[in-house]
Structure 1
Amino acid sequence: MQSVFAARPDGVTVDASSAARGFVFGDGTRPRGRTKSIALFAGEKDKALLPLFEGIGNAPRAYTGLIKISGLPGAWKSHRPDLDQHQSVLYGWLAGYFAADGDVGKTGRPTICSAVFENLEYVRTLCRLIGVGTFGIRTRSAITPYSRGEKAMMYLMGLMRADLDPSFFLIPDHRERFISGMHAAERRSWRVESMRLAGDQADVYCPAVSPQHAFALQDDLLVGDAEVSS
């Protein structure tokens, strides 16, 4: 079965300040009662993000295994960007958020993860606006640094490699794995594996969409209307 995806606009690039904001949304903090947020850089991989923050916030302060930049806008942690902004702003924010909460597997497939379902719903809508295909949101339970030793529900969503470029990946290890697998085959359509009767009878309705007589369902599945003539 066919799928349909929005085309990526020409000239979309990673906006650096938006990438910094996306990183704070994923890996930053805003202490209760404070108006400013803090970016947290843990380990060697996060150091690649430090140049994004030059001239933004206070000077970096190093601790054991951790670097902090304070004095950042509070909204960077508490609010996602409005979706009517320029595509490079949205692409940059997504790149920063992916650097914080994403990973690239051994085959080069990018996946972003969140404990908040609404965050990935927002990312899926954002991706449609900038022409990046996504797979469905799936779930798994895992112990996280914030779940106090208990398994918590996590949400994951894959991004389609063909719609991204190496500059999107701000962490070198992510970029290297993406480049090594960027030409691998990628499923972009649907296959019917089985059909079964629902067992119930009910009135059903089909929207009439003129003149194309086609529309998209969730996860970009392309379907057509019945074109029933009166």
Structure 2
Amino acid sequence: MALIFIEDHPWILEHESCEKLQREIMGQLAERQKHPRTSTKHAQISADIRLRLKQYNTQLVQLRQMLDQSSGTSTITFAESERRTRQVEVLMTKATQMQKLFDDQLSSKRMEERGSLLGQNTDWEGAGGSSNMNIGDMRSKQKQMLGEQEKGLENLSKIISRQKDIANTITNEVDYHNEILDDIGTQVDQTDQRVRNETGRVATVDRKDNTCAYWIVIIILFISIIIVAVI
């Protein structure tokens, strides 16, 4: 049984996370293959797979860095380091395989659509150069393909329309918040002006208080001089 160090537990968790993400990506690749290339579902799954592949590669880099850092210390044994190195290499190989499968699926879908549109499934090289699919069937097949493409364009148009609505909503929210900020700025200016006015009044009162104290002192001195002169 391999020796597991408590201090190195983050590496094990990161490795398990990579394996889990790899299984999820493979499941999405299988699900993506079930939908037409022009469908909204296919586009959504493809975008999600691209993000997950980037995340997977980022986690692989982090996993490799963590392994390099722990290999130069006494945290893990040399045998354990070698075992984990092989595990990382396996995950890197799977990353390459998943990327290739992702690209191959797209190419395969395009070839299938071209074949359906051009009638490659028919026997063009049959006896006498005749085809098992007549002109009417070919036109029907082409109409079907055009109909699917129109549906895909309609779905794309709906998505763009929703994004436009979201953008308009965000714009309205930004305008509303700008108005609130303007009101707050006006209120702050008014408050600042009131503070300045009150500060001026306080200074005036303070000067008056000081003048009054001077007059009281002068009067007291004057009275004292008179009393001294009389005595």
- Using the size of structure 2 for normalisation, the TM-score is 0.18
The normalised TM-score by structure 1 is: 0.18
Structure number with greater CO (CA < 8 Å, separation at least 6) is 1
Higher strand share: 1
| Structure whose CA Rg is larger | 2
| Greater helix fraction, Structure 1 or Structure 2 | 2
